[in-house]
Chains A and B, each alone.
Chain A
Amino acid sequence: MKALFAFWIAHRGELAALLGQHVMLVTASTVVAVAAGVPLGIFSARRPRLASPLIGLASVVQTIPSLAMFGFLLPVPLVGGVGARAALVVLILYGLLPIVRTTIAGLRSIDPAIREAGVAMGMTPRELLRQVELPLALPSIVAGVRVAAVVAVGSATIAAAIGAGGLGEYIYRGLSMVDTTVILAGAIPAALLALTVDAGLLWVERQLSVRRRSPRRRAAAAGVALVTAVVLLTSGVAARRTSGAIIVGSKNFTEQLVLGELVAQIIERDAGMPVLRRLNLGGTLICDGALRAGDLDVYVEYTGTALTAVFHAPISTDEAAVFDTVRNLYAKTGRTLLPPLGFNNTFAILVRGADARALGLRTIEDAARQSPHWRAGFGYEFVERPDGYAGLAKAYGFRFPEPPRVMDLTLSYRALASGQVDLIAGDATAGLIKALDLAPLDDNQHYFPPYDAAPVARAETLLRYPEVRLALERLSGKISADDMRALNYAADVEHRDIRTIAREFIAARITRESRTSP
């Protein structure tokens, strides 16, 4: 508990910014969902043939897990990609269902005698709608808005996976660092926000549904809600005005967060450019898609990963050849691969240190012999990648009695240490290897290609801002495997703040460019 407050105080600026982003996402998506959903509900309330398929469709949309929805939208032009825009699209889609449904229900629940009275009094359909039907359906509609907004608070946490920011950043960061404090640092404000939104809109709903309200008070309630929405929106938009910034991305595990922060800080320090961080994106393909779409300017990739997962090129184990191949493939698609940072983050096939010592395991080949008695656990990517499990099993002849369990990469270290699985594929540079007494096995058959870490950037950005290229090149060869392991250890095991770790590393290791020299 104390640690949590300490974290909030230390990160209060960031916390405020993330909260602002979160509120902006929720408000903007809810406002648009209302603007689209209410007319849609009105339109279909009178057309039963349209209403049921529409509600059916909206329900199907609702059942798609939000992470999957972000995935679907990734390659879609205009609305897809990464960042707040794509997140808004998803949140709007989720918000539509409750609003359309309650609009229809609200309109349908009106006593037919009341509608008939309006018609008999000579109201036009428009007058009937505005003076009778909408006022009577309003409490029901607001109830739908309430549901939509609360759902949006929850879904917006997941939007952090595509770099939309918000409190989900802390949740993802905490998950990747296996640090409950950081998870709670995001989850608690998100829960409080949901409760606040719920209570606020409940108040509006009550103001509208109690009949003994003068029209003035009802108007006041509606006005309060509207003004609040507008204020939140404009403040959110103002907070996000960072055009002209270099957008730095990263994948969603500790090492990537550290590298993303290093890249961001070196650009800020040596290129003197503002940086927008879209760290913690949900995987290689999201980062690559974002870079192609221009939603990212730079992130750190690993040569072997680019070769196999991005370009689907045949596997090679020659370090220099792989680098050249990947650099050429990137160049053809408008991206520039910068010089490697200096370490090779290969997959490390890991077993418990105790097992390795007891059974005398040194190589992956040794472990393969034990596989009929073992269970394996792998991250999502490792199971799918061409340089992943399938090839490994073939190369070494693994024969596990049951299919490997698929789990979050970071959690797999804990699962191994606690004996839930007996073998995992981790990162060679993971700080947890040392912390949890895990033993990396030697890839004696040279199955894995090299995974040299190197920044990859949009060529256009580098051309326009040569100082960014210079800054990135200053990282070249500066981070050894030991350095990376130490950085990961500081973040994962010592739970130190990633920004601070990165700042200290840059200050100590990368000399400041003297701007005055020609």
Chain B
Amino acid sequence: MPVPAIEFRDVSFMRPGGLRVLDRFSLTVESGDVLALVGRSGSGKTTVLKLVNRLLLPDAGAVLVEGRDTREWEPIRLRRRVGFVLQDVGLFPHLNVAGNVGVVPRLEGWPPERTTARVDELLDLVGLGAPSVAGRWPDELSGGQRQRVGVARALAIDPPVLLMDEPFGALDPLTRAELHTEFRRIQQRVRKSVVIVTHDMGEAFALGDRVGVLEGGRLIALDRPEVVAASREPLVRRLLDALPVVPRGPGTDAAPRAEGGAGAAASR
């Protein structure tokens, strides 16, 4: 049996103030799988991601990446094996698109020609193949383009694991639907082990091979999307009703929603 890409074993984590964010939390992400974690603001979704790449360490239990406890990983090595797409992208404003995508290859000391070739390949992959894009500056890009660059940057040295923190939260519904399709296309090609965090149930159902529901620091559901959607568990039900529900499928994402893209960003 292959080693799971990510494994949480009875992980507890407390904020400095003593507030318990995760409580004996367990989770497994198989290699090449996409896990979508849904939960309300403050439910600990982002904490889960930060525990994976050792931005945080658990107070109890263990987080294993490729079978190895994150405490044993050298943090810099670990982070370079784990691509991270942030909610607000965090593109470096002093670097152009090519510069941003090539950051990690340069850190790894790749020769410039190899970096350039890889950047072209990645921009092509995320649908920004036009030659003019590579030289643009972050403030010249649309929100959707920025997210694509963020994904390309995270994939730069082909890390086996990809973490995405509300990656499409700040986009308008049309662009969002477009990027969902794009994401599935890219994932079919690259087959990463992905954890994607969102507060949008529709997005979770659209992207996840499996969907986990996070509430009160624990997983109250973890299964294939259709199983979660049909859950009779009262807590899951209540959460499903409380969350903005969007019918599944590309092209219908644009339906009226209780909470718009901008609101989603602000709620974090």
Q: Hey, what's the 0/1 contact readout for B80-95 against A, CB within 8 Å counting as 1?
A: 1000101011111110
| Interface assignment of B14: CB less than 8 Å from any CB of chain A | no
A contact residues around B79 at 8 Å (CB): 119-122
| Interface assignment of B243: CB less than 8 Å from any CB of chain A | no
A122 x B77 contact (CB < 8 A): yes
Residue of B75, B77, B92, B104 near A114 (CB, 8 A) is B92
Q: Which residue of A lies closest to B154 (CB)?
A: A121
Residue of A111, A117, A212 near B137 (CB, 8 A) is A212
Distance A518 CA – B137 CA, assembled complex (angstroms): 83
| Interface assignment of B72: CB less than 8 Å from any CB of chain A | no
Distance A46 CA – B153 CA, assembled complex (angstroms): 27
Known contacts: A120-B79, A123-B107. The answer to whether A132 contacts B86 by CB under 8 A is: no
B55 x A120 contact (CB < 8 A): yes
* Inter-chain contact total with CB atoms closer than 8 Å: 59
Distance A215 CA – B112 CA, assembled complex (angstroms): 15
B86 x A131 contact (CB < 8 A): no
| Interface assignment of A404: CB less than 8 Å from any CB of chain B | no
Known contacts: A114-B92, A122-B77, A211-B93. The answer to whether A127 contacts B107 by CB under 8 A is: yes
B contact residues around A68 at 8 Å (CB): none
A contact residues around B55 at 8 Å (CB): 116, 119-120
Distance A120 CA – B55 CA, assembled complex (angstroms): 7
A contact residues around B137 at 8 Å (CB): 211-212
Known contacts: A117-B84, A121-B80. The answer to whether A136 contacts B107 by CB under 8 A is: no
B84 x A114 contact (CB < 8 A): no
| Interface assignment of A196: CB less than 8 Å from any CB of chain B | no
Q: Which residue of B lies closest to A120 (CB)?
A: B84
| Interface assignment of B139: CB less than 8 Å from any CB of chain A | yes
Known contacts: A120-B55, A121-B80. The answer to whether A114 contacts B93 by CB under 8 A is: yes
| Interface assignment of B103: CB less than 8 Å from any CB of chain A | yes
B104 x A117 contact (CB < 8 A): no
Known contacts: A211-B137, A211-B139. The answer to whether A122 contacts B90 by CB under 8 A is: no
B contact residues around A123 at 8 Å (CB): 76, 107
**B interface residues, tally (CB under 8 Å):** 24
A interface majority secondary structure:
helix
Q: Which residue of B lies closest to A134 (CB)?
A: B94
Residue of B75, B78, B93, B104 near A136 (CB, 8 A) is B93
Least distance between B200 CB and chain A CB atoms (Å): 20
Distance A215 CA – B92 CA, assembled complex (angstroms): 13
| Interface assignment of A113: CB less than 8 Å from any CB of chain B | yes
Report the interface size class on chain A: 20 to 34
Residue of A117, A118, A122, A132 near B80 (CB, 8 A) is A122
Distance A17 CA – B75 CA, assembled complex (angstroms): 58
B92 x A117 contact (CB < 8 A): yes
| Interface assignment of B53: CB less than 8 Å from any CB of chain A | yes
Q: Which residue of B lies closest to A112 (CB)?
A: B90
Least distance between B42 CB and chain A CB atoms (Å): 18
Residues A116-164 near B (CB distance < 8 A): 116-124, 127, 131-132, 135-136
A contact residues around B139 at 8 Å (CB): 211
Residue of A117, A135, A211 near B90 (CB, 8 A) is A117
B contact residues around A131 at 8 Å (CB): 103
Q: Hey, what's the 0/1 contact readout for B102-116 against A, CB within 8 Å counting as 1?
A: 011001000000000
A120 x B86 contact (CB < 8 A): yes
Q: Which residue of A lies closest to B88 (CB)?
A: A113
Distance A215 CA – B94 CA, assembled complex (angstroms): 9
Distance A215 CA – B86 CA, assembled complex (angstroms): 25
Residue of B86, B99, B103 near A113 (CB, 8 A) is B86
A contact residues around B76 at 8 Å (CB): 122-124
B contact residues around A215 at 8 Å (CB): 99
Least distance between A126 CB and chain B CB atoms (Å): 11
Distance A427 CA – B168 CA, assembled complex (angstroms): 84
A contact residues around B78 at 8 Å (CB): 122
Distance A482 CA – B62 CA, assembled complex (angstroms): 98
B contact residues around A119 at 8 Å (CB): 55, 79
Distance A418 CA – B55 CA, assembled complex (angstroms): 77
B94 x A113 contact (CB < 8 A): no
Distance A108 CA – B211 CA, assembled complex (angstroms): 38
B92 x A132 contact (CB < 8 A): yes
Distance A119 CA – B104 CA, assembled complex (angstroms): 11
A121 x B94 contact (CB < 8 A): no
Distance A135 CA – B99 CA, assembled complex (angstroms): 13
B107 x A117 contact (CB < 8 A): no
B84 x A121 contact (CB < 8 A): yes
Distance A195 CA – B20 CA, assembled complex (angstroms): 59
Distance A136 CA – B95 CA, assembled complex (angstroms): 10
Known contacts: A113-B86, A122-B79, A211-B139. The answer to whether A135 contacts B107 by CB under 8 A is: no
B contact residues around A212 at 8 Å (CB): 137
A contact residues around B90 at 8 Å (CB): 111, 113-114, 116-118
Distance A131 CA – B78 CA, assembled complex (angstroms): 20
A117 x B77 contact (CB < 8 A): no
Q: Which residue of A lies closest to B93 (CB)?
A: A211
Distance A131 CA – B103 CA, assembled complex (angstroms): 9
Q: Which residue of B lies closest to A122 (CB)?
A: B79
Q: Hey, what's the 0/1 contact readout for B100-142 against A, CB within 8 Å counting as 1?
A: 0001100100000000000000000000000000000101000
- 24 A-B pairs in the complex with CB atoms less than 8 angstroms apart: A111-B90, A114-B90, A114-B92, A116-B86, A117-B84, A117-B89, A117-B90, A117-B91, A118-B90, A120-B55, A121-B103, A121-B104, A121-B107, A121-B153, A122-B75, A122-B76, A122-B78, A122-B107, A123-B107, A127-B107, A132-B94, A211-B93, A211-B139, A212-B137
**Given A117-B86, A215-B99, 4 more pairs with CB closer than 8 A:** A111-B90, A118-B90, A120-B86, A121-B104
User: 3 tightest CB-CB pairs across the interface, nearest first?
Assistant: A117-B90, A122-B79, A122-B80
Q: Which residues of A contact B (CB under 8 A)?
A: 111, 113-114, 116-124, 127, 131-132, 135-136, 211-212, 215
